[in-house]
Structure 1
Amino acid sequence: MNHDRPQLRTSAWAATIASAVAALGLAGCVNYAGIKSDKQIAPPTQYETKESLPAEGGQWPAMDWAKQFGDAQLPRLIDEALAGNPTIDQARARIEKASASVGTAHSALYPNVTGSYSWTRERYSDNGSAPPPVNGTWQSENNVLASASFDLDLWGKNRERLRQSVSQEKVAEAEAEQVRISLAASVASTYNHLAQLYALRDIEAREVKNREDIGRITDGRVGAGLDTNVERQTANGETATSRSSVSDLDGQITTVRYQLGALLGEGPDGGLKIANPSLGEGAGVALPDNLPADLISRRPDIVAAYWQVDGAIHDVKEKKAEFFPDVNLSASAALDAFGWGRFLTAGSGQLQAGPAIHLPIFDAGALRAQLKGRYADFDYDVATYNQTLISALSDVATQVTQIHSADRQLVDAQQALDAQTKAYQLALVRYKAGLNQQLQVLNADDNRLAAETAVVNLEMNRRGMQIGLIKALGGGFDASQAGLAADTETPIPAPSGSTATH
């Protein structure tokens, strides 16, 4: 017996496959010559930020950044929103779908094995093609089949599809972090707005008392003949206007509570259970060092854009692989027989094996058009990354500038409030003494009210800007901690634009 014969057959089979692939490769005429891209993501050092984003030795936001405002209710509300808001569930579902795509792409790297069994009962025609003794009888046919196929993936098409799926999974994870940060910032901003409305309501409630005091003084002056009924009605009207402002603020407060309830993933009544805010000033504002470079790993939207570009590169490479021969190996083994008696005998066996080779020779430009589309997607994703980075830098710079501007405005606004308060007090004393007209007191009170409202709005808006800055700095996200770190020191290069033909 010649034991080398199976090995010789295997070598001959492999040589046959190689020869067929080479022949088809030489015969093929579809190629991607001239289709390329020179786009690449921009490094953060490309943009000038030294003046707008100076190094100030500050710290990046921590995940528990809400605690700095000294209101224990705010962190609890954020945690409740992250646990119950449907947008978080949507983000998780997108991650699960991307993970399933990874599993599907991964399975293509391995052989596919299937099995089947069938049983049929059939009466054959007396006058049909079935020979005696089968014709005119009932017969049972049993068939069991096991088959296997394997894509050799010589040009890496399946591997690139897997890498592209992994990149898309990371995109989904980064986008989920962006949803989390946006939701937390929205809860904090809405909660701050609620605090602002309560502060404005307190001002208006005090204003009602002031107008009532002016009304009582007017009544006394009318009785003394110093004022007329005109001044009395004017005072009553001003008091009613202030009460109307309180009612308006009450309505706004209820509306914002409904908004908070929705953010928490609850019905409107959920917002009505929230206690009145007691927010403090929060930590001081100082930008971290090396901000532009580190921001790309702290902002999940930039990280998502990065992995989108990375996935587009693998998408291009996958499409390029389709220009080359595709080789699949398949094999099957079966048992097929009439009846049960001979079903499990060697004579019922069937075997089949062989390669299948596919190569596009003429497709009227379909593959080239598809590759151009993939390159267009890549260029779009690169532009999206660059725009996301530009917007992120501008976002941080804008928030910092607005905070510093608010700080300067607050100094002047507080001085204006002090002066207008003194002016109102003096006008009220003179009005009581009969030295001023009512109009002067009302004007002084209006000026004091406007100054006090301006101070409260500046304080509350500044805290809102601080929340916006926390969001702009990533809200505690860190790509390395989240398993989404990428090598962005060297920009992602454009996919190879070589002009290989086959």
Structure 2
Amino acid sequence: MRKPILKTVMVSSLAILLGGCINLAPDYVRPAAPVPLAWSQGATQGTAQEAADVIDWRNFFMDARLREVIELTLANNRDLRIAVLNIEKARAQYRIQDAAGFPALGVTAGGSVTRTPAGQGSANAAVIARNQSVQLGFSSYELDFFGRLQNLSAAALASYQFNVEMQRSVQISLVAEVAGAWLALAADSERLQLARDTLKSQQISYDLSQRSHAIGATSGLDLSTAQASVEAAQVDLGEFTSRAQQDANALNLLAGITVPAHLLPDSIPNASAPLLATPAELSSVLLLKRPDVLAAEQTLIAANADIGAARAAFFPSITLTAAGGTASSSLAGLFKAGSGAWSFMPSINVPIFNAGRNRASLDVAKVSREIEIANYEKAIQTAFREVADALAERATLDQRLSAQQRLADASAKSYRLSEARYRSGLDSYLNSLVAERSWYGARQNLISLRLLEQSNRINLYKAMGGGWSDS
């Protein structure tokens, strides 16, 4: 009965020792956000609405074509694919590191045959010795008394969580970038159509000027001015044709495939996305939910765990190697009674002198944590500025759009009156041309402002952490 009792006591003592490991990592405390508690500038009162980070992009973007383009992008974009693979890689690395905390059991089987010549040792004749063995055991299993392996595993887990958050961040950025590229194509397509219409109008005016000049009713100056307007319209047509093609190329690169023609826009939709309602005092706490901020925090958590691993290097480490099985001089005797064999080889390593390497490693770990604290705080400050910029821009967009629309309407009226006076012979063609160019410029600027207004909605949605979906 003594052997089972002794064995139980030994196993229980070992379990107590393993369960009582000391974790030398400093307690993790999330740094305070180095930004104001709320945004006030640019925020506006709005109706009750879910926070941006819980609004799925499928519910945010209104245009069915844009939603389909985003679907294609999420399925084919290479950056997002790399982010997913990085998660798989980090998960495997965590499993490798976590496995170090457990003994690796293995079965070894072997045999040997040796011949000793006559006259060697006490043998008067040649001796042939045979040995076969089968053993189950583990080697170099470290008892993690001071949490070195535990902290390395925690750092690997944080690295895995970092990649998970980075995938979310990449998706949010990708959704916003695709929507922005799609809207840029819509704006340049609308500008291209405006340039075509203007060129057509200018060509008609030039043809009329040619006929009038042929009969002496129009001066050569008016004819040259009309020709110059046609050439200027041709330049704009070429520019916007090129820009629209480049926009399409950029969209195809983001999507990872060639976007079908029926999904491409020809003008800016009235509302590609809803206007997010923002209260007058918008809490900056929502920044802590942004994936890029969470990713920066995971890096900080890993650096904190690395300090614990570096501190453990100052203390003794104990490793165990043990095996048990059978051994015999013949295969037939391997499993006979009395063939049992075992070995147990504990070892302890006590650091005494290593020229300051352990101290330097600890200093590196501590400095690395300070660096990650600064990176984490910078991530929060960057996120705060992105939201603040979007809110500040939103505060004046409606006013600018209304003023630009009124300017376009007034320019259109001015052009019609100038054209009528020119046809009546009361004014030169130059006045009509100036009025038409002003109207053309006002409409181009209106397109730019409409694009800016739609992009602002998307940028605010992105800055507040929207666009992520688990499906």
**TM-score interval w.r.t. the shorter chain?**
0.7 to 0.9
1:145 maps to a residue whose letter is Q
The structural deviation recorded for 1:121 is 5.7
The structural deviation recorded for 1:236 is 2.8
> SS where residue 158 of structure 2 aligns?
helix
Identify the residue that residue 265 of structure 1 maps to in structure 2. 256
Q: Does residue 1:248 correspond to 2:239, yes or no?
A: yes
Q: Does residue 1:328 correspond to 2:290, yes or no?
A: no
Identify the residue that residue 365 of structure 2 maps to in structure 1. 374
Worse-matched range after superposition: 330-339 or 159-168: 330-339
1:448 maps to a residue whose letter is W
Worse-matched range after superposition: 342-351 or 456-465: 342-351
Worse-matched range after superposition: 177-186 or 438-447: 438-447
Identify the residue that residue 19 of structure 2 maps to in structure 1. none
CA contact (8 A) 2:411 2:439 kept: yes
**Structure 2 CA distance for partners of 1:130 and 1:241, relative to 1, 3 Å:** farther
Q: RMSD in angstroms over aligned alpha carbons?
A: 3.2
CA contact (8 A) 1:81 1:265 kept: yes
Identify the residue that residue 134 of structure 2 maps to in structure 1. 144
CA contact (8 A) 2:43 2:392 kept: no
* Alignment gaps of 5+ in structure 2: 17-23
Identify the residue that residue 21 of structure 1 maps to in structure 2. none
Identify the residue that residue 190 of structure 1 maps to in structure 2. 181
Identify the residue that residue 351 of structure 1 maps to in structure 2. 342
> SS where residue 148 of structure 1 aligns?
strand
Worse-matched range after superposition: 288-297 or 406-415: 288-297
CA contact (8 A) 2:165 2:291 kept: yes
Q: Does residue 1:78 correspond to 2:67, yes or no?
A: no
1:142 maps to a residue whose letter is Q
CA contact (8 A) 1:53 1:291 kept: no
Identify the residue that residue 294 of structure 1 maps to in structure 2. 286
Q: Deviations over 1:126-160 (max 9, x none)?
A: 6766946654x6x7643323222443211122222
The structural deviation recorded for 1:82 is 0.9
2:36 maps to a residue whose letter is Y
**Structure 2 CA distance for partners of 1:87 and 1:46, relative to 1, 3 Å:** closer
> SS where residue 190 of structure 2 aligns?
helix
The structural deviation recorded for 1:340 is 2.7
The structural deviation recorded for 1:54 is 4.5
> SS where residue 154 of structure 1 aligns?
coil
Of the candidates 274, 278, 299, which is equivalent to residue 283 of structure 1? Answer: 274
Q: Alignment length, in residue pairs?
A: 456
Of the candidates 97, 109, 118, which is equivalent to residue 117 of structure 1? Answer: 109
When normalised by structure 2's length, the TM-score is 0.86
Identify the residue that residue 41 of structure 2 maps to in structure 1. 52
Identify the residue that residue 306 of structure 1 maps to in structure 2. 297
Q: Does residue 1:201 correspond to 2:192, yes or no?
A: yes
Identify the residue that residue 101 of structure 1 maps to in structure 2. 93
**Structure 2 CA distance for partners of 1:474 and 1:78, relative to 1, 3 Å:** same
**Structure 2 CA distance for partners of 1:206 and 1:14, relative to 1, 3 Å:** closer
CA contact (8 A) 1:335 1:350 kept: yes
Q: 2: distance between equivalents of 1:107 and 1:38? A: 24
CA contact (8 A) 1:257 1:271 kept: no
The structural deviation recorded for 1:123 is 5.9
Q: Does residue 1:235 correspond to 2:241, yes or no?
A: no
Q: Does residue 1:340 correspond to 2:331, yes or no?
A: yes
The structural deviation recorded for 1:124 is 5.5
Of the candidates 194, 205, 221, which is equivalent to residue 212 of structure 2? Answer: 221
Q: 1: distance between equivalents of 2:59 and 2:386? A: 23
Identify the residue that residue 443 of structure 1 maps to in structure 2. 434
> SS where residue 102 of structure 2 aligns?
coil
Identify the residue that residue 32 of structure 2 maps to in structure 1. 43
Identify the residue that residue 170 of structure 2 maps to in structure 1. 179
Identify the residue that residue 22 of structure 1 maps to in structure 2. none
What is the percentage of aligned positions where both structures have the same residue? 23
The structural deviation recorded for 1:335 is 3.7
CA contact (8 A) 2:182 2:265 kept: no
Q: 1: distance between equivalents of 2:154 and 2:174? A: 30
Q: Deviations over 1:436-479 (max 9, x none)?
A: 1121111111111111111110011221122111110112449x
Worse-matched range after superposition: 226-235 or 364-373: 226-235
Identify the residue that residue 432 of structure 1 maps to in structure 2. 423
The structural deviation recorded for 1:194 is 0.6
**Structure 2 CA distance for partners of 1:316 and 1:371, relative to 1, 3 Å:** same
1:166 maps to a residue whose letter is L
CA contact (8 A) 2:318 2:347 kept: yes
Of the candidates 384, 387, 412, which is equivalent to residue 378 of structure 2? Answer: 387
> SS where residue 324 of structure 2 aligns?
strand
The structural deviation recorded for 1:226 is 3.0
Identify the residue that residue 82 of structure 2 maps to in structure 1. 90
The structural deviation recorded for 1:51 is 2.6
**Structure 2 CA distance for partners of 1:223 and 1:130, relative to 1, 3 Å:** farther
Q: 2: distance between equivalents of 1:473 and 1:376? A: 31
Worse-matched range after superposition: 109-118 or 51-60: 51-60
The structural deviation recorded for 1:323 is 1.5
When normalised by structure 1's length, the TM-score is 0.81
> SS where residue 286 of structure 1 aligns?
coil
1:225 maps to a residue whose letter is G
**Structure 2 CA distance for partners of 1:204 and 1:14, relative to 1, 3 Å:** closer
Q: Deviations over 1:63-106 (max 9, x none)?
A: 43355453101111111111111112211111112211221232
> SS where residue 143 of structure 1 aligns?
strand
2:85 maps to a residue whose letter is A
Q: 2: distance between equivalents of 1:274 and 1:461? A: 21
> SS where residue 322 of structure 2 aligns?
strand
1:251 maps to a residue whose letter is S
Q: Does residue 1:459 correspond to 2:462, yes or no?
A: no
> SS where residue 218 of structure 2 aligns?
coil
Identify the residue that residue 161 of structure 1 maps to in structure 2. 152
